[in-house]
Amino acid sequence: MIDMGLPFAGVDGALAAAAAWIALGLAAMAAPASLALCRRALYPAGAVVGLALAVVALGSLGAPPSARVLPLGLPELPFHARLDELSAFFLLLLGAVAACVSVYSVGYIRKDDAGAPPGLQCLCYHVFLASMALVLVADDAYFFMVAWETMALSSYFLVTSDHRHAEIRRAGYLYILLAHLGAISILLCFGALQAGSGNYSFEAMRNLQPAAGWASVAFLLALAGFGVKAGIVPLHVWLPEAHPAAPSPVSALMSAVMLKTAVYGLMRVTLDLIGFPLWWWGVIALAVGLASALFGVIFAAVQSDMKRLLAYSSIENIGLIVAGFGLTLLFRGFGMGGLAALALAATLYHCLNHAFFKSLLFLATGSVLHATSERSLGRLGGLIHRMPWVAWCALIGSAAIAGLPPLNGFVSEWLLLQAFLLTPGLPQGYVNMLVPVAAAAVALAAALSGYVMVKFYGVVFLGQPREARLAEAHDAGPWERSSLVALASGCVLLGLAPSAVLAALEPVTLRFTGYTLSALGGGWLFIAPIDPDRASYSALLFAAVAAVLVLAAWLSVRAFYHGRARRAPPWDCGYPWLNARMQDSAEGFGQPVKVVFGPAFRIEGEAPSPRDPRPRYRETAEDRLWYWLYLPVARAVERVTALVSVLQRGRISVYLMYSFATLLALLFFIR
């Protein structure tokens, strides 16, 4: 396990990083209109800070928790900050991703006179980063909520930075509204946890043991509140709207890190503050998570906007994470520490992986967006020839997110499935029944994500360009390139060195489940979560052998035969008039999923008649939940409003009558 002594307490380092980010943001306000300032100085500095934060977090993973009280906040309740293993892990994630995204932003931000001035965006960006860091180190309810809502507000401003488009405004509104509702529910969760003691510091909540009833209320409130931010079904509606609306670096940050802060909050409340999860909480989390996973991936498969597709895929991954977390709770609830450790490790591992490949893909879409100013899959294609760097990095990202060995996505799914395979040991009949179904759902989601990624990559980067102007597309600049490469290599490394990652995760699992994985065997080359005889996996060996075999095949073909190749127009079964419109469109590629999972969608569209001279085909697959859940609520509110406004009809004698009636009623009431 990694242990590098820090000269100072980890929490101070984290707070310093947050302060530095805020300072950078404020510095941008010195010259809000100057692009050069942000590009030359602030974003690079931000990247450095992110790197430093990552180092600090890595260093304090092994170290004992460090706490600090700031002279801010409410009189009785100053800001408590504390950095324990869990915070350290998520801070590591934040720092690494933030560094890459900041580097990318240096190359990404352009002069845009219409949207918000660059200085303002820089401010919001860095405040966003800082608030996420503060969320992760906050150690009392008030500090946590302040950081949490600041995060929501700053990201809202980032999402709406180009607010001239109505749909972007709508997306931002939906986002901030749901975020606020979630925040209120989190607030109430803390209110339930402090149980009338009036002490809102997490320390106090840790110490006092709420009654099971209150604890369950708190858990459900937390699941709802953090679930909104994480985007689990049915609270996900804001996510596919907001992520595409935001500038790509922001989408990357939101998807890669912000969703994880919600996971962090859920873990913090359940495993740490409450401390004694009940097993049925795990069942709920499991069910919700799997539902989100399937929902997300199914909807991702039918999207025709590349950023929406990635947003839905985020819902899927978060679903898997929540499912893994539910499994952790299940094991904890039945007191199986070792298995809980396994599930927790898988969950955290997947958080890390998702942070890497999802930010990689979002940044890649950002480069595509800049090169082609096109987001719709229907007008892209063949970019692997125009922008090879982006294309190859994106290939790694896609393979990783599809959960293919030997990349990182596979490792976490492998661990997760292992955890599932161990559930038959549970002392609860119905849960045992649940397991095969759950495992099947996970497998199905994984396979479908492969489908989605083939669609995404194939339509964007392969085939023929669907528009003429894609020929002018240029590859990403050096800054963007370097950050893409960094993230891609991150995906590879996380995939090839699982034992190191698991070692880094040990302190977390040790603190929250009392067990570690490496204690159960393995070694540096193999990972064997339970025991080597039961299951083991060595990405390195695996990849090496595969590479050797591929190379051997190639070389021997070269050796025994020849390497001659002739270029010619595509054959296409001899059909001579091939053009780009003959390829599958994004909708076409989604068709099988629409057919197979028809009931999940609310499909409407029209097909052209056979002898239509200019045939047009339109089909939209919408989210049923929108019509089942959200619109009815809105209508109900409308109705109540209409009812209430009867109070204000403008006639003065009626008003007088109100106060008269009130008076008389009260006079009766007291007699």
Partner 1 sequence: MSASGFIAQLTELLIAVVLAPLLTGWVNQCRAWLQNRSAPGLLQPYRMLAKLFEKEVVLADNASPLFRAAPYLVFGCLALAAAIVPTLGTDLPLNPAADAIALVGLLALARFFIALAGMDIGTAFGSLGARREMMVGFLAEPALLMVLFTASLISHSTSLTTIVETLAHREFVIYPSMAFAGVAFTMVSLAENARIPVDNPATHLELTMIHEAMVLEYSGRHLAMIEWAASLKLFVYSCIGLALFLPFGVAAGGDWLGLVLAAPALVAKLAVGGAALALIEMLSAKMRIFRAPEFLGTAFMLAVLAMLVHVLLEK
Partner 2 sequence: MLEHYGPQLVNLLAAVLLLLAFAMLSQRRILSLINLFAAQGLVLFMATGLVAMITGQTHLWWSAGVTLALKVFLLPWILHRLIRRLNVKWDVETLVNIPTLMIFGIVLVILAFNLAAPISQLAGTVTRATLGIALASVLLSFLMMITRSKAVPQVVGFLAMENGLFFAATGAVYGMPMVVELGIALDVLVAALILGVFLFQIRSRFDSVDTRHLERLKEE
Partner 3 sequence: MGAELALLLAPLAGAAVLGLVGHRRYAAELNVAFSLATFAAAARLVARVIEEGPFTALGEHFFIDSLNVFLVALTAFVSLTTSLFSRPYMRIERDHGRVSDAGMRLYHAMYQLFGFTMLLVLTTNNLGVMWVAMEAATLTTVLLVALYRTHASLEAAWKYFILCGVGIAQALFGTILVYFAAERILGSGMTALLWTHLDSVKGQLEPTVMSIAFVFLLVGYGTKVGLVPLHNWLPDAHAEGPTPVSAVLSGLLLNVALYALIRFKVLTDGALERPFAAALLMGFGLASVAVAAFFLSRQRDIKRMFAYSSIEHMGLITFAFGMGGPVASFAGLLHMTVHSLTKSAIFFTVGHAAQKSGTQLMEGIRGLVRVSPAIGWGLMLGAAAILGMPPFGVFASEFLILTTVIAQHPWAAPVLLVSLGVSFAAIFGKVQAMVFGEPSAARLAHRPALAPVFVHLALVLLLGLYIPPYLADWYRRAAQLIG
* Element containing residue 294 per DSSP (H, E): helix 279-301
Residue 520 binding partner 1, by CB under 8 A = no
Q: DSSP assignment, residue 584?
A: P
Among the listed residues 276, 524, 554, 660, the single contact to partner 1 using CB under 8 A? 554
Q: How far is the CB of 656 from partner 2 (least distance, A)?
A: 5
Distance CA 483, CA 51 (A): 13
SS3 assignment, position 376: strand
Partner from partner 3, partner 1, partner 2, none binding residue 616, C-beta < 5-8 Å depending on class? none
Distance CA 256, CA 585 (A): 28
Among the listed residues 69, 195, 404, 535, the single contact to partner 3 using CB under 8 A? 195
Residue 145 binding partner 3, by CB under 8 A = yes
Residue 457 binding partner 1, by CB under 8 A = yes
Nearer to partner 3, 579 or 653 (CB): 653
Q: Which stretch binds partner 3 (CB under 8 A): 146-154, 270-278, 368-376, 397-405?
A: 146-154
State residue 336 phi and psi, 5-degree precision: -100, 85
Contact 368, 380 (CB under 8 A): yes
Q: Residue with structure tokens 């339970």?
A: 530
Q: Which stretch binds partner 3 (CB under 8 A): 73-81, 332-340, 414-422, 532-540?
A: 73-81
Nearer to partner 1, 454 or 493 (CB): 454
Distance CA 189, CA 223 (A): 9
Among the listed residues 29, 74, 437, 440, the single contact to partner 3 using CB under 8 A? 74
Among the listed residues 6, 69, 188, 625, the single contact to partner 3 using CB under 8 A? 188
Among the listed residues 36, 71, 196, 564, the single contact to partner 1 using CB under 8 A? 564
Distance CA 336, CA 279 (A): 11
CB atoms within 10 A of CB 662: 10
Q: How far is the CB of 291 from partner 3 (least distance, A)?
A: 24
Distance CA 44, CA 100 (A): 10
Nearer to partner 2, 609 or 648 (CB): 648
**17-33 core/surface letters (b: 16 or more CB in 10 A; e: else):** bbebbbebbebbeeebe
Residue 433 binding partner 3, by CB under 8 A = no
Q: DSSP assignment, residue 40?
A: I
Q: How far is the CB of 521 from partner 3 (least distance, A)?
A: 47
For residue 659, give the amino acid letter.
S
Contact 126, 249 (CB under 8 A): no
Distance CA 391, CA 352 (A): 22
Among the listed residues 43, 90, 128, 190, the single contact to partner 3 using CB under 8 A? 190
Residue 48 binding partner 1, by CB under 8 A = no
Residue 450 binding partner 1, by CB under 8 A = yes
Nearer to partner 1, 208 or 546 (CB): 546
Q: How far is the CB of 85 from partner 3 (least distance, A)?
A: 27
Among the listed residues 180, 370, 594, 602, the single contact to partner 3 using CB under 8 A? 180
3-state DSSP of 300-341? HHCCCEHHHHHHHHHHHHHHHHHHHHHHHHHHHHCCCHHHHH
Alpha-helical runs (H) found in 462-525: 478-496, 498-513
- Residues at the contact surface with partner 2, assessed by CB under 8 A: 645, 647-653, 656-657, 660, 663-664, 667-668, 671
Q: How far is the CB of 401 from partner 1 (least distance, A)?
A: 11
Residue among 428, 621, 400 at smallest CA distance from 490: 400
Positions that interact with partner 3 (CB under 8 A)? 71-75, 116, 141-142, 145-150, 152-153, 160, 163-164, 166, 169, 172-173, 176-177, 180-181, 184-185, 187-188, 190-192, 194-196, 198, 200, 637-638, 640-645, 647-648, 652, 655-656, 658-659, 662-663, 666-667, 670
